Each structure stands twice: as structure tokens, then as C-alpha cells.
């Protein structure tokens, strides 16, 4: 570790070993573009630096298997493409992950898996897009009981606006790259969510279930501090 600087210098990477102290979670490793040896080296550094869960996102089975061979004790969620070590401290914070359509499922899977891996209680609610509004209204009470909602939609991206008009909880909107030509691989949904008439929605990047889960984590941490008076 580089003395007094809060990071390890591994030559190919500089893991932020102080991230957990600042934000409540260790730095999360983005898997694509890294070799298994590089992922393993960063994971070892972060595991040695703190006590929290260490995550690697967007990894496939062959890479995960190699990394686990180098750094034992982790678990791999193939559907979410998430590799993790250590169980999180529970935050007693209920997160609803609400997806418009079945095609949005991979993003919802990532959001739910990351949220669970960092200590949130997660409830999945799928296929409640606005083209069949009665499907969403049938789940309104369940959604309203959540402390925060991650709302995932492609096409025209309307679902977060409707959900945010029905519930009081913070809504984190995730545009997906699902849709026909003019959906522009998620750009249409992104712009729709950014210009939503339901004020106060938080919008993350296209297909970023990970980003939505971390936004919910920040909300949960802030709520816990406020509740404790700290």
C-alpha cells in the first residue's frame, strides 16, 4: 500500500483503499477490459483494506472461474454477472426493483443482485409496463411500501414517471437499450426520464442496474444517519 495516500499502487491499477471509510463500501471493480489476474489483484487489495463486501461487475463465467481460482471464497451470480466476496451488513432498507417488461429483465437482475450484495432488502416486481396500466396498479400497494424504488424501462421510458406519481418514496430511474429503431438503444428512454413531469426522479445511465443499486445505497445510508440523529 502507498503510505498515507489511501491507495495501493499495483502497477496496472491503483485500488482506492480508503473508499469504504468515505462512502461505506469498498471500491467496486468493473470487470470488462481487465484480465483475470488484474481483477484478482485488485480484489485482494480491497479485501485486505477493509471489512465490507468486494464486488466485481459485468464478468462472465470463464473469467469468474479463473478469478475465484486465484482469490477463493467468493460467489458468482451468473445471471447478474456479479462476483462478490463477504456478506454485507444489513441496512434494514426495503428496495423495490420494478421493471416495465421481461426484456428489461437483465438490468433488473443486475440491480437486484448488487443491491442485495450491499445490504439492501430487495423485492422484484416485473412486467408492469404502462401499456397495460392495470398491471402496475395491481402492484401499487406493494411498491408504495418500499423505502425506495428502482424503476427500469426501455421503449419510451414512461414507467418511472407513472410510478413517481403514485408513491412517495425516492425513485431511481434506469433507461434500458430495449426498443425498436427510434428507441435509439436507450437514448429515447434516457431523455424521457430526464424530462419527466414527475419531479425529483433520479436518473442513471442506460442499462446501469449497478448505478441504480448504488444510488439506492446512498439513499439508505443517508436515511440511516438521519434516523439515528447522526
pLDDT at position 177 over 60: yes
- 3-state DSSP call for residue 121? strand
In a shared domain, residues 98 and 159: yes
Q: How many domains does the chain have?
A: 2
Domain assignment of residue 13, yes or no: no
Domain assignment of residue 9, yes or no: no
Model confidence band, residue 230 (pLDDT cutoffs 50, 70, 90): very low
In a shared domain, residues 116 and 176: yes
Q: What is the CATH number of the domain that holds 181?
A: 3.40.50.1970
Return all residues near 21 (Cβ < 8 A) that are at least 6 apart: 50
Q: Look at residue 17 in the predicted model and tell me its pLDDT.
A: 95
In a shared domain, residues 77 and 99: no
pLDDT at position 35 over 80: yes
Model confidence band, residue 229 (pLDDT cutoffs 50, 70, 90): very low
Domain boundary among 40, 57, 85: 85
| Rounded Cα distance, 8 and 132, in Å | 51
Instruction: Compute the residue count for the chain.
Output: 230
* Angle subtended by helix axes 209-228 and 105-117, to nearest 10: 40
| Rounded Cα distance, 73 and 2, in Å | 26
In a shared domain, residues 182 and 222: yes
In a shared domain, residues 60 and 99: no
Return all residues near 208 (Cβ < 8 A) that are at least 6 apart: 107, 174
Task: Give the residue numbers spanning the domain of 30.
Answer: 19-85
Domain assignment of residue 3, yes or no: no
Domain boundary among 67, 85, 103: 85
Domain assignment of residue 4, yes or no: no
Per DSSP, 168 falls in state: S
pLDDT in tens, 54-108: 999 999 999 999 999 999 999 999 999 999 999 999 999 999 999 999 999 999 9
Domain assignment of residue 8, yes or no: no
In a shared domain, residues 168 and 201: yes
Amino acid at each position: 500500500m502507498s503510505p498515507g495516500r489511501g491507495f495501493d499502487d499495483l502497477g496496472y491499477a491503483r485500488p482506492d483503499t480508503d473508499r469504504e471509510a468515505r462512502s461505506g463500501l469498498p471500491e467496486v471493480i468493473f470487470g470488462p477490459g481487465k484480465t483475470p489476474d488484474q481483477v484478482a489483484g485488485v480484489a485482494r487489495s480491497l479485501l485486505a483494506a477493509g471489512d465490507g463486501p468486494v464486488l466485481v461487475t459485468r464478468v462472465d463465467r470463464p473469467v469468474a472461474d479463473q478469478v475465484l481460482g486465484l482469490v477463493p471464497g467468493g460467489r458468482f451470480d451468473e445471471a447478474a454477472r456479479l462476483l462478490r466476496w463477504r456478506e454485507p451488513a444489513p441496512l434494514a432498507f426495503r428496495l423495490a426493483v420494478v421493471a416495465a417488461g421481461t426484456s428489461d429483465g437483465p438490468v433488473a437482475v443486475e440491480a437486484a443482485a448488487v443491491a442485495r450484495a450491499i445490504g439492501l432488502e430487495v423485492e422484484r416486481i416485473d412486467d408492469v409496463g404502462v401499456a397495460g396500466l392495470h398491471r402496475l396498479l395491481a402492484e401499487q400497494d406493494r411498491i408504495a411500501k418500499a423505502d425506495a424504488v428502482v424503476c427500469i424501462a426501455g421503449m419510451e421510458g414512461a414507467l418511472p414517471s407513472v410510478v413517481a406519481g403514485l408513491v412517495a418514496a425516492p425513485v431511481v430511474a434506469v433507461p434500458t437499450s430495449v426498443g425498436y429503431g427510434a428507441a435509439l438503444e436507450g437514448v429515447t428512454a434516457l431523455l424521457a426520464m430526464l424530462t419527466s413531469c414527475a419531479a425529483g426522479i433520479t436518473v442513471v445511465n442506460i442499462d446501469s442496474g449497478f448505478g441504480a443499486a448504488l444510488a439506492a445505497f446512498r439513499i439508505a445510508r443517508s436515511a440511516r444517519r438521519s434516523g439515528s440523529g447522526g
